[in-house]
Amino acid sequence: MTALDLSSPVAVVGTGTMGQGIAQVALVAGHPVRLYDAAPGRARAAAGAIVARLDRLVEKERLSGADRDAARDRLLPAESLSDLADCALVVEAVLEGLDVKQELFRELEGIVGEDCLLATNTSSLSVTAIGGALANPGRFVGLHFFNPAPLLPLVEVVSGFATDVTSATRAYETARAWGKTPVACADTPGFIVNRIARPFYAEAFAVYEAQGADPATIDAVLRECGGFKMGAFELTDLIGQDVNESVTHSVWESFFQDVRFTPSLAQRRLVESGRLGRKTGHGWYDYADGTAERPEPHTAEPGRTPAHVVAEGDLGPASELLALIREAGIPVREEEEDHGTRLVLPSGGQLALADGQTSVEFRDVVYFDLALDYRRATRIALSASQDTSPATLAEAVGLFQALGKDVSVIGDVPGMIVARTVARIVDLAHDAVAKGVATEEDIDTAMRLGVNYPLGPFEWSRRLGRNWAYALLDDLHLRDPSGRYAPSLALYRHAYASDKRQGGSS
């Protein structure tokens, strides 16, 4: 099944920001495009707004004047749904209400031809439920674009329970012909991106609620250590706290209030107070008049550079640190250790990579967080308990400062910030593949393009080792037996299979 022919008219119903963006994508690809909105005059106004954006593309030399003129001639506001009768594809982008969408598609089904593909751009409702109102749900599919649709490449092509393979394939190939990067997924709450991205927000909020660190520090660690483009607090301020919480709540409810997707009480209070982020001038941060300065992250004062360190065991994902320490002129002595993977400091205290345990459980241990790339990271987070020796903490701070890093000391939070976030993302990704939501490749593509992650979950998993995420979450689950951190059966099987091949045991 191939993409729609460019001569085939495409209709977009709903002319808000997303509807206009989808229409522009189809128009620039070469289709005749019909715009319809139930509100009088909105379709014509939306057509004018799209043409204005095409004019700007011409000014920026991203579109030729001839192509702009041809696209303008192919764009037609529709006075009624009946004007869409000859369309080969109708994409709906109206308000997120199940009844509203079902009624719209029932009416469309009586207007368009039998071979017309019907699609919803819903981000939170069940594609199956919307299509369930149709006499022929086989031709109904989800086409979830990301905002702004003309710029962001990802499109989730969602097959409902009754969607025909031919319909899903035609939608997929059409999105690709439009210059997008489509990924195929089953109709599951949140699809790929909004399902697997939940821990990125949830774990940042959980660290904050546990008074482990303030928003500015958590954001800085996620960016400067974890390699994420934005931290969770600044990103939700940009998205809108009400919008982000609504998606989280929808996924949580759709999974029958699964504890893994539990919304944040702190975010709920923010929404209740009307502090919705940039659009209201205040969210986690203050944006009054656009002049307020962002609070600075906690950065430790200069510490004591250790005279030497002893490396016991394999540091695993943090093994690159040994070369960096030597390059900083600090002698390193390596010793084999059956059970340890840590750095021993001159004071006798130890440094260990975040593993889901807490510093207070041990005599004198400082944990350091996972980094995307320890060489390129500009900030490292450390966690210590009230019982940690001040000398050990000072040496730990001094060690990373000697490597050219800013250091943020947070509370004794198991799994810290980046490590627990990545482990949970990896777990949800494995669970999604095991349940037939999408392939590993499509999940990695979706998370890189949809939310701009530095690595896809399976790229992280391969880099960190098959057992890393499972071991960390298992330790976290022991300390928080609510079920939030219980590793999925899919992740358990993934880790156990690796051990078994190597002669290990469960």
Are 464 and 320 within 8 A, CB to CB?
Answer: no
Is the sign of the CA dihedral 25, 28, 34, 39 positive or negative?
positive
Residue 425's nearest CA partner among 468, 475, 363 is 468
Q: What is the DSSP letter of 294?
A: P
C-alpha 187/C-alpha 176 separation (Å) is 20
Q: What's the burial of 152, exposed, middle or buried (CB within 10 Å: 0-12/13-18/19+)? A: middle
Phi, psi dihedral angles at 379 (to 5 degrees): -145, 140
Residue pair 384/449 in contact (Cβ under 8 Å)? The answer is no
Tell whether the torsion through CA atoms of 143, 146, 151 and 152 is positive or negative.
Answer: negative
User: Quick check: helix, strand or coil at residue 182?
Assistant: strand
As annotated, the active-site residues are 123, 144, 156, 194
Cα separation values, 368 from 109, 115, 352, 476, Å: 58, 58, 6, 16
- Which residues fall within 8 angstroms of residue 245, CB to CB, at 6 or more apart? 263, 264, 267, 268, 271
